[in-house]
Amino acid sequence: MSSGDLPATINSGKNEFLRHIVLGAAALAMIYPLLWMFLSSFKPDELIFSDPTSLPTSFGLDNYYKGWTALRESFTTFYLNSFIVSVLAVIGNLLACSLTAFAFARLEFWGRKFWFAMMMGTLMLPYHVTLVPQYVLFLKFGWVNSFLPLIVPKFLAVDAFFIFLMVQFFRGIPREIDEAAIMDGCGPWRIYWKIMLPLSTPVLATAAIFSFIWTYDDFLGPLIYLNDIKTYTVPLALRAFVDSSGGESLYGALFAMSALSLVPVFIVFLAFQRLIIRGVALGALKR
Amino acid sequence: MTDSVAISGRQDVLPVVSNGGFRREIRRSLPGYLFLLPWLTGFFVLTLGPTLASLYLSFTDYDLLSPPRWAGLKNFEYAFTQDMRLRSAVSVTFNYVLWSVPLKLAVALGLAMVLDRSVRGVGFYRAIFYLPSLLGASVAISVLWRQIFGAEGLVNKLLYLTTGLQGPSWVSHPDYALWTLIALAVWQFGSPMIIFLAGLRQIPQDLYEAASMDGASGWRQFWKITLPLLAPVIFFNLVFQTIEAFKAFTQAFIISGGEGWPIDSTLFYSLYLYIEAFANFRMGYASALAWLLLIIIAAFTAIAFATSKYWVYYEDESR
């Protein structure tokens, strides 16, 4: 497809122009579904279907009001639930994963290589394997229908990917810094808290962003553990909405709530675009 | 210089637990284990324990209400010889993986190469191409997809406006439903694209200049320079995306109404496992399914690594 404008001659004006046409068309195709959902969320239901390509005549929030209260609980509850779970998951991941990563990157202890290998092993394990026994365990604890099954694992550093990311980063911080601190009588805890963490804001931010987005978007976890509508997170509520609206009568409202549910992730993306894109590139290249 | 010596020296410190040094060894190791405590707890209680439990459960009948009953190889026998639904699930999942991963990577590589060369606006395009990868896993996008490919959906409206043809309901037609999910996967080509882009940036520009000087065509440069030098990155993307595709769940759940309809044409493996475990409460059988999936993924990864030495060259091996 793009072989025609492969660079035999570099960046002649014509090539540059062609490239922008290809890229512009691709970008438009990519973004069109999102744009369409957003615009449709302002249109009355009939117009979404009869005249799908037109622009909305006004930006009234009717669909948003309708959607917000369409289920037995309002979306206020669902957003609150989602944010409680996501924020606690972020805190848990940052604390537990950085503690673990610090031990692997900086401390000497018996069996370090063995535990590190175990940690890397868990990276490969598909979630399916632990799904059923974890459910049975949390059921026995009486944790079903609470947020605990979604949060507690994060405080126990179950997301090995973040540990790995942080170990990589910590190893890049010059050892002279902690050696100087040890001379000054700092123990491991102070080195971790006062030196490592402040120097690691880029990797902590990356981990925070991805763990927020993944937890906020998570569907399987809430689907299994949250059955009471009062505990629903936003994705579960959307799914309930799809099931309840069934036909096309409430499509405008459904689009409004769907579009709205993307807003938090979108804001995070706008605010931390560089960090996110670098995280994607790094996480991979460094393996 | 001294730095690297110090570091490698540290890594060689072996745990010497010999006569008399035991107490000192404990004192030396204690801080490490204190820091590791949360992870160790999680590892034993939430990962290793459940993994072993799941292995055990896969040889039992277990419905949550009564204790697990030993069933020997019955679950596996049923899976291999009788379970027709599992057969569709495996075939649907393989189809999905085999189509979505190469297509996604091809689009990702193509656009990464176009982006790599253009001077202005790279950041802007990159951001737009990446956005669907970030949003795509959400329920909202699956809801949108269901509408776009529905009978009255956007695709059919556009089709009608441009060609006058009336398309079917793509999501509820057994021949096309899986393709809507493949399209959704390809739409999320942004994250492998970013990884390709980072890889392309590391290819020395003078290689291309020398090649053009020798009169090599763009196509030839692609085969002889870009692809070989990008092989490690292609390999990473291939393995990672394949594993992710095997694990896909949310899209299939929302688009297929949670049941893999129409007639199991979108019954992803993960979805089938979910249904067996949490709708039919066949927890033993679901555990067996989980282990079969683990074996499938491990086998795939092993094959990828085994064949990689024939087509992936790392730069420091210099050839």
pLDDT computed for residue B228 by the predictor = 87
Per the CB < 8 Å rule, is B290 touching A128? yes
Instruction: Answer yes or no: do B44 and B113 share one domain.
Output: no
Q: Which domain holds residue A224?
A: 72-245
Residue A247 has a pLDDT of: 53
The residue out of A66, A89, A110 marking a domain boundary is A66
When pLDDT is cut at 50, 70 and 90, the band that residue A284 belongs to is very low
Tens of pLDDT, residues A35-60: 888 888 888 777 776 666 677 777 77
Q: How many CB pairs under 8 A join A and B?
A: 297
The token pair at A248 is 């096309």
B7 occurs within a structural domain? no
pLDDT at B9: 40
Chain B hits for A284, Cβ within 8 Å: 195, 198, 233, 236-237, 240
Are residue A116 and residue A152 in the same domain, yes or no? yes
* A91 shares a domain with A20: no
The answer to the question of residue A161 being in a domain is yes
Query: Cβ contact (<8 Å) for A19 and B117?
Result: yes
Please tell me whether residues A175 and A116 are part of one structural domain. yes
Same domain membership, residue B295 and residue B192: yes
Confirm whether A255 is domain-assigned: no
Chain A residues touching residue B33 (CB < 8 angstroms): 103, 109
Residue of A8, A124, A133 lying closest to B212 (CB–CB): A8
Residues B186, B214 within the same domain: yes
Q: Is the pLDDT of residue A7 over 70?
A: no
**Tens-digit pLDDT profile for residues A192-238:** 998 899 999 989 999 999 999 999 999 999 999 999 999 999 999 99
Q: Has residue B285 been placed in a domain?
A: yes
The answer as to whether B255 is a domain residue is yes
Question: What pLDDT is stored for residue A1 in this prediction?
Answer: 38
State the average pLDDT over residues A94-118.
93
pLDDT exceeds 60 at position A8: no
Give the Cα separation of A76 and A147 in Å (integer). Answer: 17
Residues B98, B230, single domain; the answer is yes
A131 in the same domain as A53? no
- Angle, helices A127-140/A148-155, rounded to nearest 10 degrees: 110
Query: Nearest to residue A107, comparing CAs of A207, A198, A208, A196?
Result: A196
pLDDT of amino acid B207: 85
Domain of B127?
A: 76-317
Buried b (16+ CB within 10 A) or exposed e, A188-217: beebbeebbbebbeebbebbbbbbbbbbbb
- Write the CATH number for B296: 1.10.3720.10
Strand, coil or helix: A74: coil
Q: What is the pTM of this model?
A: 0.86
B32 and B103 both lie in a single domain: no
- pLDDT of A90 strictly over 70: yes
Chain A residues close to B208, C-beta within 8 Å: 7, 10
Residues of B in Cβ contact (< 8 Å) with A10: 117, 208-209, 212
In this structure, the answer to whether residues B169 and B280 fall within a common structural domain is yes
Residue A161 has pLDDT above 80, yes or no: yes
Q: Note whether residue A261 is domain-resident.
A: no
Q: Is B70 helix (H, G, I), strand (E, B) or coil?
A: strand
Minimal-distance CA residue of chain B relative to A271: B127
CB contact under 8 A, B139 and A213: no
Q: Say if A285 falls within a structural domain.
A: no
pLDDT of residue A285: 42
Residue A263 lies in a domain: no
Question: How distant is the Cα of A124 from the closest Cα of chain B, in angstroms?
Answer: 9
| Residue B303 covered by a domain | yes
Whether the pLDDT of residue A141 is over 90: the answer is yes
What residues in chain B have per-residue pLDDT under 50? Answer: 1-14, 16-17, 318-319
pLDDT score of B2: 36
Q: Is residue B64 part of a domain?
A: no
For all residues of chain A together, what is the average pLDDT?
86
CA distance A189 to A178: 11
Residue A69 pLDDT greater than 80, yes or no: yes
| Residue B49: predicted pLDDT | 94
Q: ipTM, 2 decimals? A: 0.86
Indicate the DSSP class of residue B69.
Answer: E
Domain count across chain A: 2
* Binary contact (B212, A269; C-beta < 8 A): no
pLDDT beyond 70 at A248? no
B268: alpha, beta or left? (left if phi > 0; alpha if psi -120 to 50) = beta
Domain with A230 in it: what CATH number? 1.10.3720.10
Instruction: Look at residue A3 and tell me if it is in a domain.
Output: no
Residue B120, token pair as written in the block: 């202005």
Whether B28 and B135 map to the same domain: the answer is no
Whether A285 sits inside 8 A of B35 (CB atoms) is: no
CB neighbour list of residue B193: distance below 8 Å, 6 or more residues apart: B107, B108, B109, B111, B112, B115, B126, B129, B130
Q: pLDDT band for A4, please (50, 70, 90 cuts).
A: very low
Of B25, B132, B293, the CB nearest to A110: B25
State how far residue B64 is from chain A, nearest Cα, in angstroms: 8
- B212 and B292 in a common domain: yes
Residues A84 and A211 reside in one and the same domain? yes
Are residues A130 and A240 both part of a single domain? yes
Alpha-carbon distances of A137 from A132, A148, A156, B287, rounded to whole Å? 9, 12, 15, 14
Cβ–Cβ below 8 Å for A115 and B36: yes
Residue A286 has pLDDT above 60, yes or no: no
Total domains in the fold of chain B: 2
Residue A287 pLDDT greater than 50, yes or no: no
Q: Which two tokens stand for residue A209?
A: 């962003």
Answer whether residue A133 is part of any domain.
yes
Judge whether A260 lies within some domain: no
CB within 8 Å: A33 and B154: yes
Pair (A58, A81) in one structural domain: no
Query: Hey, what long-range contacts does A134-140 have (CB within 8 A, 24 or more apart)?
Result: A134/B46, A134/B50, A135/A224, A135/A225, A135/B277, A135/B278, A136/B53, A136/B64, A136/B283, A137/B45, A137/B46, A137/B49, A137/B50, A138/A225, A139/B64
Contact at CB, B221 and A127, closer than 8 angstroms: no
